[in-house]
Amino acid sequence: MAENVAVEQGLAHEGAEVAGATTAHVEHHAEPALLGIAPPVAVVSASMIVLLAIAVWKGLPGMLTRGLDSQIAEIKAQLEEAKTLRAEAEALRKEYADKIANAEKDAAAMLDHARHEAEAIVAKAEQDTADVIVRREKMAQDKIAAAELAAVTDLRNQAAAAAAAAAKGLIASNHSADADKALVDQAIAGI
């Protein structure tokens, strides 16, 4: 412990010597003064007071407030213009959104109309096809009936011709000229 006290006293002694050495080297200068009576702080303060008094006398605060007021008015006008532009933009956005919605509705209506027209065209084509098939079947049946009638008529004609030829042959073989004369006389008498 004694050693610690001795070290502390030695350090304090060295600190005192260093402190004394630095104070010995500091020089004192004289402070400037206006006319030897006013310190610099008083001169600067008085100058500022005079400068502020001149500024107030010339209306600098009024000019500053008028300038600030004009800038405030300009900023307010710009804000009003921005509000107006925003309202116009919102109106345009709503208008175009409505137009898009209407266009989508119109497109859906057109698509629905086109579907109905296509279905009507398909139904008409199916009906026309059915009608054509019915007409063609009728025409084919008429042609078949006409062909059958022609065949029957032709067959009758052939049968009549064959019968006439057979009758002619029979008459020619079974009748003589005397038999013909008796038939002719009988026919004349019947008139």
The per-type count for the chain, helices as H runs and strands as E runs, is 4, 0
- Provide the residue range defining the domain that includes 87: 46-189
pLDDT tens for the chain, 191 residues long, are 545 544 455 545 555 454 444 555 567 666 766 676 777 788 888 889 999 888 888 888 888 888 899 999 999 999 999 999 999 999 999 999 999 999 999 999 999 999 999 999 999 999 999 999 999 999 999 999 999 999 999 888 888 888 888 888 777 777 667 777 777 788 788 77
User: Does some domain include residue 133?
Assistant: yes
Rounded to 5°, the CA angle 131-132-136 comes to 120
As for how many domains the chain has, the answer is: 1
Please report the sign of the dihedral spanned by the C-alpha atoms of residue 150, residue 153, residue 159, residue 163: negative
Which amino acid, one-letter code, is at 161? A
User: Does some domain include residue 57?
Assistant: yes
User: Does some domain include residue 61?
Assistant: yes
